[in-house]
């Protein structure tokens, strides 16, 4: 059984706007799948359905064999914004999800401190978000997500607003943490190089309405280091193929024969 199953998902918004059209996707347990496509193609809409924040109109979705529901312990959701509470310290922010899930104080403190150490923020456990850089705040958000024993991690451009150097550092950190846990990940990005560097598969969507135009296996060996990959010939070839598929999706949406 797939960890995440989407069958024939179609989403229509108010006014008859078709956002996603007949999308089907199966993701095995422990796979890292990157979802790419032009702005407005429905990538975030798909993630919002996986979290249960949006009800399924047409089609079927299951996570771990169950329909998605808001607040499900089966998933975590990391956004482009870190969403840290300004009145909580880094440690208290990392603990927050565990509090909601009823984990005892001693256990959540232990997990949170260990996670902060893993992301390089052990010395900043008592710092408030205003004292942290943007990159440090995203590290804190990563720690918060990995502290939870969720089957699936949904990530919507978590590094999209970072500078190039910090972005590469956090991509490598994410690969390291994922390598330790092998959670199932669905990762949205507009950065095709990021998608190829991180993922086992890159799923390419067309412009709206969102349809899958390619599902590409990324057979680069693991463990990976993003800075080293960017000089690798196999990486560059895969990057070029993803670009070709993205251009094909844009052409199909415009009615141009592929």
60 and 163 together in one domain: yes
191 and 66 together in one domain: yes
In a domain? residue 117:
yes
Higher pLDDT, 16 or 85: 85
Q: Using one digit for the tens of pLDDT, what is the confidence trace for 178-224?
A: 999 999 999 999 999 999 999 999 999 998 789 999 999 999 999 99
The neighbour count for residue 5, using CB atoms within 10 Å, is: 16
In a domain? residue 176:
yes
In the chain, what percentage of residues exceed pLDDT 90? 78
In a domain? residue 258:
no
109 and 40 together in one domain: no
- Quick one: tokens of 74? 């089966």
156 and 238 together in one domain: yes
Which residues does residue 216 pair with via DSSP β-bridges, in sequence order?
202
Q: Using one digit for the tens of pLDDT, what is the confidence trace for 126-140?
A: 999 999 999 999 999
In a domain? residue 106:
yes
Residue 24 pLDDT > 50, yes or no? yes
49 and 155 together in one domain: yes
pLDDT at 159: 92
168 and 221 together in one domain: yes
Q: What is the Cα–Cα distance from 133 to 140, expressed in whole angstroms?
A: 11
Residue 241 pLDDT > 90, yes or no? yes
C-alpha distances in angstroms, 100 versus 71, 93, 108? 9, 12, 11
pTM, two decimal places: 0.92
Residue 47, domain CATH:
3.40.50.300
In a domain? residue 114:
yes
In a domain? residue 168:
yes
Encode burial over 163-199: b for 16+ CB neighbours within 10 A, e otherwise: eeebbbbbbbbbbebbeeeebbbbbbbebbbbbbbbb
Average pLDDT over residues 142-165: 91
Task: Indicate the number of domains in the chain.
Answer: 2
Residues 6+ apart with CB under 8 A from 10: 18, 20, 21, 22, 23, 57, 58, 59
Which of 134, 149, 164 is the last residue in one of the domains? 149
114 and 164 together in one domain: no
116 and 184 together in one domain: no
Which of 124, 149, 174 is the last residue in one of the domains? 149
169 and 106 together in one domain: no
Q: Using one digit for the tens of pLDDT, what is the confidence trace for 158-176?
A: 998 888 899 999 999 999 9
Encode burial over 24-63: b for 16+ CB neighbours within 10 A, e otherwise: ebebeeebbbbbbbbeebbbbbbbbbbbbebebeebebbb
Which of 103, 134, 149 is the last residue in one of the domains? 149
pLDDT at 113: 96
69 and 162 together in one domain: yes
Residue 251 pLDDT > 80, yes or no? no
141 and 157 together in one domain: no
163 and 136 together in one domain: no
Residues 147 and 111 sit within 8 Å (Cβ to Cβ): yes
CA nearest neighbour of 47 among 82, 18, 80 = 80
127 lies in which domain range? 83-149
Task: Annotate 65-123 with DSSP letters as a single string.
Answer: TB---TT-TTEEEE-SS----TTS-HHHHHHHHHHHTT--HHHHHHHHHHHHHHTT-GG
């Amino acid at each position: 059984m797939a960890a995440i199953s989407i069958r024939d998902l179609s989403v229509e918004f108010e006014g008859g706007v078709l956002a996603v059209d007949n999308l089907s996707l199966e993701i095995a347990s422990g796979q890292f799948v990157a979802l790419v496509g032009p702005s407005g193609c429905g990538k975030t809409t798909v993630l919002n359905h996986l979290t249960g924040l949006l009800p399924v109109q047409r089609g079927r979705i299951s996570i771990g064999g169950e329909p998605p529901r808001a607040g499900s312990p089966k998933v975590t959701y990391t956004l482009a914004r870190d969403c840290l509470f300004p009145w909580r310290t880094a440690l208290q922010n990392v603990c927050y999800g565990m509090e909601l899930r009823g984990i005892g104080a001693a256990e959540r403190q232990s997990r949170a401190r260990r996670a902060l150490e893993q992301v390089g923020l052990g010395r900043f456990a008592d710092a408030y978000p205003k004292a942290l850089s943007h990159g440090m705040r995203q590290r804190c958000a990563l720690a918060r997500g990995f502290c939870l024993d969720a089957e699936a991690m949904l990530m919507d451009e978590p590094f999209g607003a970072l500078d190039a150097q910090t972005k590469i550092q956090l991509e490598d950190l994410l690969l390291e943490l994922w390598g330790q846990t092998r959670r199932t990940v669905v990762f949205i990005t507009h950065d095709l190089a990021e998608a190829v560097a991180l993922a086992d598969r890159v799923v390419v969507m067309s412009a709206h309405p969102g349809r899958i135009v390619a599902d590409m296996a990324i057979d680069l060996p693991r463990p990976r280091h993003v800075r080293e990959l960017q000089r690798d010939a196999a990486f560059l070839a895969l990057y070029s193929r993803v670009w070709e598929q993205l251009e094909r999706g844009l052409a199909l949406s415009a009615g141009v024969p592929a």
